[in-house]
């Protein structure tokens, strides 16, 4: 008989959180700390969502989405998690670019970028300062007409090389393009520029392990392998969720699942205004990814000068379409040195990532799919040889993932890596106005995605849920809110 | 709570939110944002902390009232005057 992962779940909660991505985990933790009875349900057997890792024979541990995040993570981890988690956040100091327009290494912060732009790219200091200030002041309530392309044209007209330096890393970080609203660029870019790029020492596995311990301390009930099939609503309010053949009553639901999946499938369009459903349908998903994971033989080391993150491209100029194309010309490499996991066995790994269109992979037959994956692996090794000489001979393990892989593990529609385009934010915000007690907290709108965005959004939504539950007369069974 | 007590309470909350900042030099008339490294998440945390400690509900539209120490204390005074100091 299959194990009952819901054995310890009660019949009723104040809040059910669907999905244990960083947004779901953070919302669950904050609400439990406020004294609510919280149940966290995750369909996969591991917590973390896209903040995940996998192990391979030989002591190799691969991180999927630990390429870098802004310094703001430290503050959020300290406040919404623990000091121990915050203390493990360390800077990645060698960020490299290599493309036909320029090759350079930077610490990826405002100070160094200003120096690069004025000295190496010969841009006037006032233009650089004006640009940084404008980007930093951006807020998500601002004007959304201005596109990122227009923002660049205002300060750096005709400078495709400058645009590439400023844009390429952000496109990798969250799939945003020159055609997206400038604020979605400005907010994320400024977050990084404040202090540079950071990572989590000990790897994603250690982070999620520490978070799991913390949600246990906070009193969250957790069910893994618990695929929520339905969110039941009635009379304009959330009532219960259906999972593992059980119906669990709840006063509020926070869905960390994909935005469209939440509205159209888990709840069902008949529970929303027609206009709202139209808007939800019209939300564009962000692109997906491919990755190639490579582990060097145990005694092989990568030169530190290779960098931590390398944005490489052979394309003559920067174009959104070419970044997404199956005909790959641009790759971002993350180099993991033994210092990534100081407590583990010393290993050197490389993950190559590209942005990708789901459609390019979805319709392939099994045979074509395998061939396409193999081609991805071979072409990646060819390209990487320039930076890690003789890489083929030094490798112990190699494999690839595609948009289909991401879809399989997270149930994100079309394997979306970074949630939705900007308009998804408003739809996500508006859900509780449609159904009382229903909330969404997960990667949306570009700015609420990435580790930091998802975590902060989880925290914001927890505050809204708390507001609702604290205002409504508490059930007799509800614990005192402290 | 008197206005002085409320000011102390806000300082205490700020201390936990921004432990790296020097709060002894705060100018009550100047916006927090112009003298401390605070972002919108920090303001949300201030609101949450007030709710947790004193069960004060601050609607989102009123967050702007929390711009400076002076405006915050003025805004909170009618809401907190009947609260016992602990
Ligand atoms: C290849 C790649 C590289 C990335 N690199 C970085 C990076 O370097 N830095 C960075 O900051 N960000 C990066 N990101 C983005 C970042 O990982 C995500 O934005 C973030 O982790 C998303 O968190 P989330 O809270 O939105 O939830 P998700 O991680 O999307 O998790 C949602 C969870 O909900 C679960 N779920 C869905 N439906 C159900 C259901 N019906 N019942 C139960 N559970 C359900 C899923 O299984 C999943 O665990 C990367 C993403 C990808 C794909």
B18 within domain boundaries = yes
Nearest-angstrom CA–CA distance, A55 and A206: 13
Q: In angstroms, what CA-CA distances link A132 with A129, A135, A137, A192, A280?
A: 5, 5, 9, 12, 33
pLDDT digits (tens, 9 = 90+) for A369-415: 999 999 999 999 999 999 999 999 999 999 999 999 999 998 898 89
pLDDT confidence band for A476 (50 / 70 / 90): very low
Instruction: From A26, A175, A203, A256, give the residue whose CB has the most ligand 1 atoms within 8 Å, as the site to mutate.
Output: A256
How far does A481 lie from chain B, in Å, by closest CA? 8
Q: A420: which 2 tokens?
A: 């939705």
CB-CB: which of B17, B41, B55 is closest to A456?
B41
B85 within domain boundaries = no
Instruction: Give exposure, A442-467, as e/b (b: 16+ Cβ within 10 Å).
Output: bbbbbbbbbbbbbbbbbbbbbbbbbb
Binary contact (A139, B17; C-beta < 8 A)? no
Binary contact (A459, B39; C-beta < 8 A)? no
- Of A201, A203, A199, whose CA–CA distance to A91 is shortest? A199
pLDDT digits (tens, 9 = 90+) for A232-290: 999 999 999 999 999 999 999 999 999 999 999 999 999 999 999 999 999 999 999 99
Instruction: Indicate the SS3 state at residue B69.
Output: helix
Average pLDDT in chain A: 94
- Ligand 1, atom 27: closest residue by C-alpha: A21
- Which residue in A81, A83, A462, A463 has the most chain B C-beta atoms within 10 A of its own C-beta, making it the best mutation to test that interface? A463
The total number of residues shown for chain B amounts to 86
The answer to whether the Cα torsion of B75, B78, B83, B84 is positive or negative is: positive
pLDDT digits (tens, 9 = 90+) for B18-75: 888 899 999 999 999 889 888 888 999 999 899 888 988 888 888 889 999 999 999 9
Q: Which domain covers residue B53, as residue numbers? A: 3-80
DSSP state letter for A346: -
Residue B57 has φ and ψ, to the nearest 5°, of: -95, 125
Nearest-angstrom CA–CA distance, A263 and B2: 47
pLDDT digits (tens, 9 = 90+) for A56-74: 999 999 999 999 999 999 9
Q: How far is residue A62 CA from its own chain's centroid?
A: 16
ipTM for the complex? Answer: 0.81
Residues on chain B touching A136 (C-beta within 8 angstroms): none
Nearest-angstrom CA–CA distance, A165 and A431: 37
The per-residue pLDDT for A106 is: 98
Domains with residue ranges and CATH for chain A: 12-45+224-284+419-476 (3.50.50.60), 56-65+287-410 (no CATH), 109-195 (no CATH)
pLDDT digits (tens, 9 = 90+) for A340-370: 999 999 999 999 999 999 999 999 999 999 9
Record the pTM. Answer: 0.94
Cβ pair A438, A252 in contact under 8 A: yes
pLDDT digits (tens, 9 = 90+) for A145-203: 899 999 999 999 999 999 999 999 999 988 889 999 999 999 999 999 999 999 999 99
The per-residue pLDDT for A482 is: 39
Q: A431: which 2 tokens?
A: 């859900």
The per-residue pLDDT for A22 is: 98
The per-residue pLDDT for A4 is: 75
Give residues with Cβ within 8 angstroms of A96, minimum separation 6: A103, A104, A105, A106, A306, A307, A309, A310, A311
Region A422-440: mean pLDDT is 97
B86 within domain boundaries = no
Cβ pair A348, A336 in contact under 8 A: yes
Task: Give me the residue label for tokens 């970028």.
Answer: A113
The per-residue pLDDT for A479 is: 44
The total number of residues shown for chain A amounts to 482
Q: In angstroms, what CA-CA distances link A151 with A109, A111, A125, A173?
A: 19, 20, 17, 19
Number of domains forming the structure of chain B: 1
The per-residue pLDDT for A3 is: 67
Instruction: From A21, A408, A418, A449, give the residue whose CB has the most ligand 1 atoms within 8 Å, as the site to mutate.
Output: A21
Q: For A364-402, give the DSSP string.
A: --HHHHHHHHHHHHHHHHHHHTTTSTTHHHHEEEEEEE-
Residue A335 reports pLDDT greater than 90: yes
Binary contact (A463, B44; C-beta < 8 A)? yes
The atom of ligand 1 lying closest to the CA of A44 is 47
- Of A125, A176, A122, whose CA–CA distance to A149 is shortest? A176
Helices and strands (H, E) in chain A, number of each type: 18, 18
CATH number of the domain residue B26 falls in? 1.10.1200.10
Q: A193: which 2 tokens?
A: 């520029």
The answer to whether the Cα torsion of A205, A206, A207, A213 is positive or negative is: positive
B63 within domain boundaries = yes
């Amino acid at each position: 008989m299959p194990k009952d992962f819901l054995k310890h779940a009660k019949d009723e909660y104040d809040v059910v959180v669907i999905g244990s991505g960083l947004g779901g985990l953070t919302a669950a933790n904050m609400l439990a700390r406020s004294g609510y009875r919280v149940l966290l349900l995750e369909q996969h057997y591991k917590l973390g969502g896209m903040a995940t890792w996998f192990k391979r024979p030989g002591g190799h541990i691969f991180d999927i989405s630990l390429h870098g995040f802004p310094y703001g993570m430290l503050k959020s981890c300290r406040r919404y998690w623990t000091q121990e988690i915050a203390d493990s956040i360390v800077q990645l100091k060698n960020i490299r670019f290599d493309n036909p327009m320029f090759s350079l290494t930077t610490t990826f912060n405002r100070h160094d970028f200003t120096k690069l732009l004025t000295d190496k790219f010969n841009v006037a200091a006032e233009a650089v300062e004006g640009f940084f200030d404008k980007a930093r002041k951006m807020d998500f309530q601002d004007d959304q007409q201005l596109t990122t392309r227009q923002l660049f044209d205002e300060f750096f007209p005709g400078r495709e090389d400058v645009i590439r330096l400023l844009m390429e890393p952000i496109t990798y970080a969250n799939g945003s393009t020159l055609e997206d609203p400038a604020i979605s660029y400005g907010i994320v870019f400024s977050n990084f520029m404040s202090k540079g790029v950071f990572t989590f020492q000990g790897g994603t596995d250690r982070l999620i392990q520490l978070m799991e311990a913390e949600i246990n301390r906070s009193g969250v009930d957790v069910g893994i392998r618990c695929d929520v099939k339905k969110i039941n609503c009635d009379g304009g309010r959330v009532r219960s969720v259906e999972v593992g053949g059980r119906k669990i009553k709840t006063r509020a639901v926070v869905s960390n699942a994909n935005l469209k999946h939440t509205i159209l499938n888990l709840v069902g369009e008949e529970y929303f205004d027609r206009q709202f459903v139209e808007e939800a349908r019209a939300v564009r998903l962000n692109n997906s990814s491919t990755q190639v994971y490579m582990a060097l033989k145990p005694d092989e080391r990568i030169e530190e000068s290779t960098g931590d993150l390398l944005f490489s491209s052979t394309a003559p100029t920067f174009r959104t379409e070419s970044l997404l194309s199956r005909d790959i010309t641009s790759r971002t490499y993350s180099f993991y040195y033994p210092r990534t996991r100081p407590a583990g066995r010393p290993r050197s790994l490389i993950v190559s990532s590209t942005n990708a269109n789901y459609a390019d992979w979805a319709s392939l037959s099994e045979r074509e799919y395998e061939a396409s994956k193999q081609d991805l692996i071979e072409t990646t090794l060819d390209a990487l040889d320039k930076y890690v000489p003789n890489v083929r001979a030094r490798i112990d393990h190699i494999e690839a993932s595609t948009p289909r892989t991401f879809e399989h593990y997270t149930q994100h529609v079309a394997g979306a890596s970074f949630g939705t385009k900007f308009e998804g934010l408003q739809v996500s915000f508006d859900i509780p106005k449609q159904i009382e007690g229903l909330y969404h907290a997960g990667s949306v709108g570009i700015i609420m995605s990435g580790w930091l965005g998802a975590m902060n959004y989880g925290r914001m939504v927890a505050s809204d849920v708390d507001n609702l539950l604290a205002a409504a007369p508490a059930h007799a069974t509800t614990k005192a809110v402290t | 709570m008197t206005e002085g007590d409320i000011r102390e309470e806000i300082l205490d909350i700020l201390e936990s939110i921004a432990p790296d900042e020097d709060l002894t030099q705060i100018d009550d008339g100047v916006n927090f944002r112009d003298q401390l490294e605070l972002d919108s998440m920090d303001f949300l945390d201030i609101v949450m902390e007030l709710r947790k400690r004193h069960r004060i509900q601050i609607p989102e539209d009123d967050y702007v009232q929390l711009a400076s120490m002076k405006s915050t204390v003025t805004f909170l005074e009618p809401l907190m005057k009947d609260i016992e100091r602990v």
